[in-house]
Amino acid sequence: VQLQASGGGLVQPGGSLRLSCAASGNIFSINFMAWYRQTPGKQRELVALIPSQGTTNYADSVRGRFTISRDNAKSTVYLQMNSLKPEDTAVYYCNAQLKSRVLDPWRVYWGRGTRVTVSS
């Protein structure tokens, strides 16, 4: 199983970006999917999480500006980021809790990260 993130880049303050993360390989079922971010010298922090059912969760710092969504048919999670601020600059990582076969335990997988830079 692999998670491939894409969509990062350089954007001006106030701009928008859309990140994508596709899971591939032997996948039976995906539970939650999420986005984290990390800046140098700081711990990785949760940005947004979307469960297979139920409500999404957002960090206070991004609530109202970012929207997480998923396409189950494509095993893909998205992060629409609007009104970007310089403090959103970070490497963004996706993760997913999934199982490859019905009797397998749930496991968490991480993508390699995509860099987002918000600067004028």
Query: What average pLDDT values come out for the chain (120 residues) when binned by 10 residues?
Result: 96 98 96 97 97 95 97 96 98 97 95 96
pLDDT at 26: 94
38 phi, psi to nearest 5 deg? -145, 135
Distance from the first to the final alpha carbon of the chain: 37
Place of tokens 């490497």: 91
What is the per-residue pLDDT for 120? 94
CA dist 80 and 21 (Å) reads 12
> What distance in Å separates the CA atoms of residue 96 and residue 111, rounded to the nearest whole number?
9
What's the token pair of residue 106?
């749930």
Rounded distance between C-alpha atoms, residue 103 and residue 80, angstroms? 34
Contact criterion met (CB below 8 Å) for 84 and 107: no
Neighbours of 109 (CB within 10 A): 16
